[in-house]
Amino acid sequence: MPNVSKESASNKISLEGLEVRREDLDSGYTVCFEEHTADADLAPLCKGLPNDKVQVERWGYVIKGKIGFRMDGREEIHKAGDAYYVPAGHTPVHYAGAEIVEFSPTDGLDETVSVIMKNFEAMETAGSPR
């Protein structure tokens, strides 16, 4: 059975306000260790996804701080010590100081990250904050 830690994760993505260490597991799932250093509503970065929302499920655990997900006209907040499940059809809200571990299906996550990164790069080029 494979294992991974934040320190051993092979992929690292650093953006303003966010650091993700990620490992794709043989099971078709990806584990992400995230640190949020700035508040951010990711809805603008989800433009271009079906219904402009993340269409991949997430299972996670909040180590420190809190994280939010908007769906169905409401925001769910998960705080330190909470394990959570978020269905497809959401937009994330990051809060500074959060540390989380998440598991998601790799294929859907890759498609989502591709769109989010394109939007992030376009915003950076235009000088727009996220």
Look up the domain containing 59 and give its range.
11-125
pLDDT of 1 above 70: no
Q: Answer yes or no: is 72 within a domain.
A: yes
The model's pLDDT over 4-21, given as tens digits with 9 standing for 90+, comes to: 999 999 999 888 899 999
Q: Answer yes or no: is 91 within a domain.
A: yes
pLDDT at 2: 74
Q: Which residues contact 116 (CB under 8 A, 6 or more apart)?
A: 42, 45, 46
Q: Residue 20 and residue 92: Cα distance in Å, rounded?
A: 14
Other residues' Cβ atoms within 10 Å of the Cβ of residue 40: 20
- The torsion angles phi and psi of 85, rounded to 5 degrees, stand at -130, 135
Higher pLDDT, 126 or 106: 106
Please check whether residue 101 is in contact with residue 31, taking contact to mean a CB–CB distance below 8 angstroms.
yes
User: If you search the block for the tokens 């937009």, which residue do you land on?
Assistant: 91
CATH number at residue 87: 2.60.120.10
Average pLDDT of 84-97?
98
Q: Answer yes or no: is 89 within a domain.
A: yes
The number of domains in the chain is: 1
